[in-house]
């Protein structure tokens, strides 16, 4: 019994770590599979993007890998539904 408890604890820790990693990777894959902006607008039949889950047009965009990534992922501010992605033109080099 005295050795079973630490083993169980370690297995639980590994299981939780695996679940967190799995959820993260699934989310990343979903982001990469999002439609491009043009395809999203065409599929919604609208000229201005809006959330297809709640209808709000307040959207936010985040970088795919990091905050400054040129691949932008757009999601809804109020319900967090992932909507579409687009590629931002790279920012010009700061003049030195």
Q: Which residues bind Zn ion (CB under 5 A)?
A: 51, 53-54, 76, 79, 81
In the sheet with 59-63, reading across from the earlier edge strand, the strands are: 59-63, 71-76, 82-87
From the CB of 50, what's the least distance to Zn ion, in Å? Answer: 8
Residues 6+ apart with CB under 8 A from 95: none
Measured from the CB atom, is 9 or 56 closer to Zn ion?
A: 56
From the CB of 55, what's the least distance to Zn ion, in Å? Answer: 7
Query: Which among 44, 39, 90, 86 is positioned nearest to 62, based on CA atoms?
Result: 86
- Angle of CA points 68, 71, 77, to nearest 5°: 80
From the CB of 35, what's the least distance to Zn ion, in Å? Answer: 16
Measured from the CB atom, is 34 or 51 closer to Zn ion?
A: 51
Measured from the CB atom, is 59 or 64 closer to Zn ion?
A: 59
């Amino acid at each position: 019994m005295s050795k079973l408890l630490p083993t169980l604890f370690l297995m639980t820790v590994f299981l939780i770590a695996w679940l967190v990693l799995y959820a993260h990777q699934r989310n990343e894959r979903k982001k990469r599979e999002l439609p491009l902006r043009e395809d999203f607008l065409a599929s919604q039949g609208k000229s201005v993007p809006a959330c297809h889950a709640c209808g709000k047009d307040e959207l936010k965009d985040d970088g795919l890998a990091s905050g400054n990534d040129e691949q932008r992922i757009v999601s809804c501010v109020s319900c967090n539904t992932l909507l579409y992605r687009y590629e931002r033109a790279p920012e010009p080099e700061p003049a030195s």
